[in-house]
Amino acid sequence: MPRKCPYRIELSSAERVRLEATARKYTSPYRDVIRAKIVLYAAEGLDNDEIAERLDTPRQIVSKWRSRFFRERLRGLEERSRTGRPALFSPQPRRGH
């Protein structure tokens, strides 16, 4: 049985215009386009499973951005700086070379 999402999305006209512009802009970062489309589909009344299928993305990702938009509106879709320990990458020399 599909889960019922508690976050019902209703957009203002300004939010809709901004999200639609982001979703169709070829120069927008991919992550921004996907986030915008998630919210637009949610506003159309689609559930998370259906949105995930249409966008070929995990349902958990859809749920994350839907709930973040519900709580923080457009600001919630912005990229955030990471907290905690910085990612480290130290290439190891290949053996025998």
pLDDT in tens, 45-85: 999 999 999 999 999 999 999 999 999 999 888 887 767 77
For 97, the token pair is 């070379």
| DSSP state for residue 28 in the 8-state scheme | S
pTM here? 0.78
| Residue 21 confidence (pLDDT) | 96
- DSSP H helices, the chain, are 13-24, 30-43, 48-55, 59-72
Lowest mean pLDDT among 4-8, 33-37, 66-70, 86-90: 86-90
Look at the chain and count its residues: 97
pLDDT band at 94 (very low <50, low <70, confident <90, very high): low
